[in-house]
Amino acid sequence: MVVELGGGNDGLSMVVPIADPAYRALRPTLAVADAIALDATVGLHPKLVKLADRYRAGQVAIVEGVGYPDPNLSHFASLGYWWSGKPGESGGAGWLGRYLDGAVGFEDPLAAIGIGPVPSPALLGDRSSPPPSPTPRLSRPPRPGSTPRDLMAAWGRFAPASPDPVTLFGQVQEAIGLSVRAGPSSTPTSPLRRHREPDRRALPRQTGRLGSAVTDSLQLAAQLVVAKHAPRVIYVSGLGDYDTHQGQAQRHPALMSDLDAGLDTFFHTLDARTQLTARW
């Protein structure tokens, strides 16, 4: 599963270099003062309490220093490079799309699931692109103000260049039904989860804020992970505006709090489903 914090996220306020004097010298007003120390050199934002507990339990890891040579300071160019997986190149097949090209081609329209307002360009492939329907992209409704042109720009490239009309129609028809029934407001009998569903009364309460896009998206991602026919790739995006050039002191802690709750819900959902499955 990939969770994209679009904007992008201020990594130095999330994973804080607590032992580096340059950090506080260069951030006299924005330096995180009460980070949760993970060791003598690195800490997590104080709102990431549950994630810190997961780290100490050995359930998550931190990989620092990830980047590309001669970074472009444009958010748009940099996102394009990250999606393509090729520094200096954007607009073609994405890094996950190329993986799906080699793994499944166009045979499995549910090999990748995107949870978010629009499909991520990282999923765009040359031979694995799904039909231009809500299929393997379980997308939430478009953002307010989205125009038909916006939607076509986001979805258009995911249509195969020369599809067979009969085959494509069948895939689109199935895809729309699957997407609708597998959405967050669906009943627990989605075709994507053709296994015995656990008693919801036995599941722990959601730890995230009810109605939070982060919590809802990551809970759905967890349900897909433990499904009988789990997709190869789950890509979660559109969780919030992490472009905090203005008002970061107020906005970033709120983003971290929502992310912490959502990730904890993700792990709780996995844990609960695994435990219940083991009892059957």
Domains in the chain: how many in total? 1
Give the model's pLDDT for residue 222.
Answer: 93
Within a domain: residue 37? Answer: no
pLDDT of residue 197: 35
Domain that holds residue 146: 2-9+88-279
C-alpha 192 chain-centroid distance: 18
Q: For residue 269, report the phi and psi dihedrals to the nearest 5 degrees.
A: -65, -45
Closest CA to 2 of 96, 88, 106, 68: 96
Are the C-beta atoms of residues 232 and 112 closer than 8 Å to each other? Answer: yes
Least confident range of 60-74, 89-103, 231-245, 265-279: 265-279
In a domain, 59, yes or no: no
Residue 92 lies in a domain: yes
**C-beta of residue 115 within 8 angstroms of C-beta of residue 222:** no
For residue 204, is it within any domain?
A: yes
Cβ–Cβ under 8 Å, residues 231 and 263: no
CA distances to 47, 219, 242, 255, 266 from 50, rounded to whole Å, are 8, 16, 20, 14, 12
Query: For residue 275, what are its two tokens?
Result: 């435990």
Q: With respect to residue 20, please indicate whether it lies within any of the assigned structural domains.
A: no
Could you tell me which residues are beta bridge partners of residue 16? 43
Give pLDDT, residue 135. Answer: 35
Over residues 144-162, mean pLDDT: 58
Picking from 13-27, 172-186, 193-207, 218-232, which range would have the lowest pLDDT averaged per residue?
A: 193-207
Q: Which H or E element spans position 104?
A: none
121: pLDDT strictly greater than 70: yes
Q: What are the distances in angstroms from CA 111 to CA 26, 82, 136, 179, 265?
A: 45, 21, 7, 13, 24
In 55-122, DSSP assigns E strands to 112-115
Look up the pTM and report it: 0.74
Interatomic CA distance for residues 142 and 144, integer angstroms = 6
What is the average per-residue pLDDT within 171-200? Answer: 44
Who wins on pLDDT, 256 or 243? 256
Q: What is the mean pLDDT of the chain?
A: 77
**100 inside domain:** yes
Does residue 274 surpass a pLDDT of 80? no
- Report the C-alpha gap between 134 and 113 in whole angstroms: 10
Residue 33 lies in a domain: no
What pLDDT is recorded for position 155?
Answer: 57
Domain contains 217: yes
**29 vs 166: CA distance, rounded Å:** 61
Residue reference for tokens 């997590």? 44
Per the listing, tokens 């407001």 go with 185
Higher pLDDT, 179 or 195: 179
- Among all chains, which residue has been given the structure tokens 């490079």? 81
Cα angle 107-110-115, degrees, rounded to a multiple of 5:
150
Distance in angstroms (rounded) separating the CA atoms of residues 54 and 60: 6
CA–centroid distance for 97 within its chain: 15
